[in-house]
C-alpha cells in the first residue's frame, strides 16, 4: 500500500498542530515517516512537553512545587512522593519497560528526541548511570537515584520537569 503525499501532509500538519509525539502508536507505514519528522526536539519543545508531563505526574503523586522545583538546581529531596513523581515522569517519557527503568529505551529516546548539542553528553550520562537502578527494587527509588546520578554526571545539560 502506497502512502500519498496528501496523507503525509495531513500527518505532518496534525503532529505540528497538536505537538504530540505519537510515533510509537502510529501504524507501521507511518512510523518511519513519523520518526523522521520528529527526529529531534528543541529545548523549548522539550520544556513545553515537560510542563505537560508535570501537570499529569504532580497531582498523581501529591507533590508540591516546593519539593520538585529544586530538581532543576540539582537539589534532590529524598521523599517518597518526589521519588514517585520522578518515576511517573520516566514512565510518561517512555523509559520504563515492564515496571523497570530501561537503559535501552532511554538511549533510544535520547537518540530520537534530544537536540544534537546535548545528545552525546546525555547518552554518556545515561551510560555512566546504567547500573544504578539495579540496586533498587522500588521503581520510585530507582528513578530518584538514576536521575541524581545523571545530574551529578553532567549538571550542565540536566533538565527535569
Exposure of 94 by Cβ count < 10 A (0-12 exposed, 13-18 middle, 19+ buried)? Answer: middle
* Residue 46 pLDDT grade (very low, low, confident, very high; cuts 50, 70, 90): confident
- Per-residue confidence (pLDDT) for residue 114, from 0 to 100: 82
3-state SS class at 64 = coil
Q: What angle do CA 17, 20, 23 make, to 5 degrees?
A: 125
List, in order, residues 6 or more apart from 121 with CB less than 8 Å away: 154, 156, 157
- Per-residue confidence (pLDDT) for residue 1, from 0 to 100: 40
pTM of the model: 0.72
**60 pLDDT above the threshold of 50:** yes
Kind and range of the H or E element at 101?
Answer: strand 100-101
**42 pLDDT above the threshold of 50:** yes
The residue to which cell 555512566 is assigned: 128
Break the chain down into helix, strand, coil percent, rounded to 5.
70, 0, 25
- Per-residue confidence (pLDDT) for residue 77, from 0 to 100: 95
Domains and CATH numbers, the chain: 5-37 (no CATH), 43-157 (1.10.238.20)
- Is-contact 47 118, C-beta < 8 A? no
* Residue 4 pLDDT grade (very low, low, confident, very high; cuts 50, 70, 90): very low
Range 54-78 average pLDDT: 94
pLDDT by residue (tens digit) across 68-125?
999 989 999 999 999 999 999 999 888 988 889 999 999 998 888 888 888 899 999 9
Q: Phi and psi for 7 in degrees, rounded to 5?
A: -65, -40
- Per-residue confidence (pLDDT) for residue 29, from 0 to 100: 54
Question: Per DSSP, what are the bridge partners of residue 101?
Answer: 96
Range 35-59 average pLDDT: 74
- Is-contact 99 91, C-beta < 8 A? no
Amino acid at each position: 500500500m502506497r502512502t500519498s503525499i496528501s496523507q503525509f501532509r495531513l500527518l505532518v500538519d496534525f503532529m505540528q498542530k497538536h505537538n504530540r509525539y505519537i510515533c510509537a502508536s502510529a501504524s507501521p507505514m507511518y512510523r518511519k515517516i513519523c520518526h523522521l519528522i520528529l527526529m529531534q526536539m528543541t529545548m523549548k519543545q522539550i520544556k513545553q512537553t515537560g510542563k505537560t508531563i508535570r501537570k499529569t505526574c504532580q497531582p498523581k503523586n501529591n507533590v508540591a512545587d516546593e519539593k520538585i522545583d529544586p530538581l532543576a538546581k540539582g537539589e534532590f529531596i529524598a521523599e517518597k512522593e518526589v521519588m514517585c513523581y520522578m518515576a511517573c515522569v520516566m514512565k510518561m517519557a517512555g523509559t520504563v519497560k515492564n515496571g523497570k527503568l530501561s537503559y535501552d529505551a532511554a538511549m533510544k529516546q535520547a537518540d530520537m528526541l534530544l537536540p544534537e548539542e546535548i545528545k552525546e553528553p546525555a547518552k554518556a550520562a545515561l551510560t555512566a548511570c546504567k547500573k544504578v537502578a539495579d540496586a533498587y527494587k522500588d521503581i520510585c527509588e530507582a528513578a530518584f537515584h538514576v536521575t541524581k546520578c545523571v545530574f551529578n554526571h553532567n549538571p550542565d545539560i540536566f533538565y527535569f520537569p
